[in-house]
Chains A and B, each alone.
Chain A
Amino acid sequence: MPHIQLDHVNLEFQVGAERHDTVKSVLRNGLGRRRVEARTVKALRDVTLSIRSGERVGLIGHNGAGKSSLLKVMAGIYPPQRGTVHTEGHVCPLFEFVTGFEMEATGWENIRTRALLLGMSPKEIDQKIDDIAAFSNLREFLDIPVRHYSSGMFVRLAFATSTAVDPQILLLDEVMAAGDAAFIESARHRMNELMERANVVVFASHSLDVLPTFCDRTILLRHGQVVIDGPTAEVVGFYTSEESARA
């Protein structure tokens, strides 16, 4: 059964140290002068949580509260410095729609590449490619390089491809759709279908009105820590009352 289990997860980023290391600076620091104190940003502090099969969980919190970091730890992208992450089932992170798209490649080529990267098998892609093409509504434009697309067309193709996956565990980060009004409406519909198909959904969002309709459980993060974890209505209520108290 698909599930996610996090135990005492701590994630930190060394700002300044790992990024700009050169052989020279390491030699210098190793031989003689003291290593410059690196600034450590604690992205997650002692996060323990468990998400079971069938759950739909919302993540809320301010920018920088750790929502994206938490999703990336669940996706296996960032290994935590301390604590353990255990996931079972195919994890599909959908933080953006365009990674893997090549401007010089045609629409058809990009559909295939993007779909492979999301974990679809070539056979699965053959089955779904017509549906993706139909939803993108790009028809003969699929034969030309994506470079010639308008940004609206580009978003439609990327969105149509990314939402065609059948994930067991779906991780979403602030998903938004662009394009004309009709597209936004159909995009919302398609997004809902995708979330219905997934066995587990973890969904980071700022839109407090959308969360209750979809997530039964919500986690509020602040400074990388879990503040409250419970039924969505309760957590959203707590968050908004806190916000208004602060204002």
Chain B
Amino acid sequence: MTNETTFQAVIRSASLWHIWSRLGLQDVRLKFRRSAIGPAWPFVNLAVMVLSIGFIYANLLGQNPREFIPYLTIGMILWGYLTSSIVDGGNALIHAEGYIKQISLPIYVYIFRSFVSISVTTLITMCAFVIVAAMYRVPLGPATVLAVPGLVMVMAASLLLITIFAHLNARFRDVAHIGAVSMQVLFYVTPVIFPAALLRHRRDLSLVIELNPMYHLLEVVRQPLLHAAAAGWHSYAAVAAVIAVLAVTAAAVIATFQRRIVFAL
């Protein structure tokens, strides 16, 4: 309705879960429907990356593959999740242009739709970690379940990133490209394909990881899964701060663009 506030529109969008969950799941299904191996593709993709990077870097960096391969696998999965929240999520509203201009649903429905499809794709690839973890006998313990709240935090960050980039990118079409380039740079400074300990040994470089929000987002899932232990308290604090900053930014972006977005499409 035109006579509702933005806040009400967001709430109403969330309550229309049967619409956005269906659209999001349909996006996942259709992506794989006509390919011969279907949902196995993300696994193949990941396997090729992990095997090629894994064995070279394990040797290069003098790492034990038994620890390094599971570390690399979960890191790549989470990194892919955050990257696609920015790059694919950045197109959430642009790709929904046909819907937005023809159907009177609040636009946030299409943000949630994108969140569902990106998150479900990630959860499917998570199964790859389970296989790798079993192969390399990654330790399990009661603290392993801490990965769940960690993952919830990463998902919250994903939803907020999608919201921010979908709005900005609808208005300024090069924002998703800037996001993609930034993620590429961050990839090389964040411990994903090399262990954090390598940087920590270097006093002058340790700040690069401590101040890197991406590192902490990975840690809150990676530590419980790899070592059956909670991540450091400062990682949780950093993630809480990241989510707070993203939430404020998302609220500001929504408030700024909400009435203009349909004209920008």
Contact = CB atoms under 8 A, between A and B. Distances in A.
A117 B103 contact: yes
B102 interface: yes
A143 interface: no
Interface string A77-97: 111000011110001110110
A93 B103 contact: yes
A87 B99 contact: no
B19 A117 contact: yes
A95 B102 contact: yes
Nearest to B175: A23
Interface string B90-124: 00000000111111110000000000000000000
Nearest to B34: A104
A21 interface: yes
Interface residues of A, number: 38
Interface string B165-176: 000000111110
Nearest to A74: B2
Q: Counting chain A CB atoms within 10 Å of each CB, which of B30, B102, B105 scores highest?
A: B102
A231 B102 CA distance: 29
A247 to B, nearest CB: 34
Interface stretch (B138-146, B191-199, B255-263): B255-263
Contacts of A54: none
A99 B102 contact: yes
Nearest to B23: A113
A76 B103 contact: no
Given A23-B178, A77-B101, A99-B102, A113 B3 contact: no
Contact of A99 (B98, B174, B178, B259): B98
Interface in B1-31: 1-3, 18-19, 22-23, 26, 30
B30 to A, nearest CB: 5
A72 B2 contact: no
B30 A14 contact: no
Contacts of A93: 102-104
Given A18-B263, A87-B2, A104-B34, A117 B105 contact: yes
Contacts of A122: 18
B33 interface: yes
Nearest to B33: A104
Contacts of A73: 2
Contact of A112 (B22, B104, B105): B22
A230 B1 CA distance: 26
Given A23-B172, A112-B22, A117-B19, A99 B103 contact: yes
A208 interface: no
A98 B239 CA distance: 43
B171 to A, nearest CB: 7
A55 interface: no
Nearest to A11: B263
Given A22-B174, A100-B103, A117-B99, A79 B19 contact: no
Residue of B2, B105, B263 with highest tally of chain A CB at under 10 A: B2
Contacts of A72: 101
Interface of A: 13-14, 18-19, 21-24, 26, 72-73, 75-79, 84-87, 91-93, 95-96, 99-100, 102, 104-105, 109, 112-113, 116-118, 121-122
13 contacts: A18-B264, A23-B175, A23-B178, A73-B2, A77-B100, A91-B1, A91-B104, A99-B98, A100-B99, A100-B103, A105-B30, A109-B26, A113-B26
Interface of B: 1-3, 18-19, 22-23, 26, 30, 33-34, 98-105, 171-175, 178, 259-260, 262-264
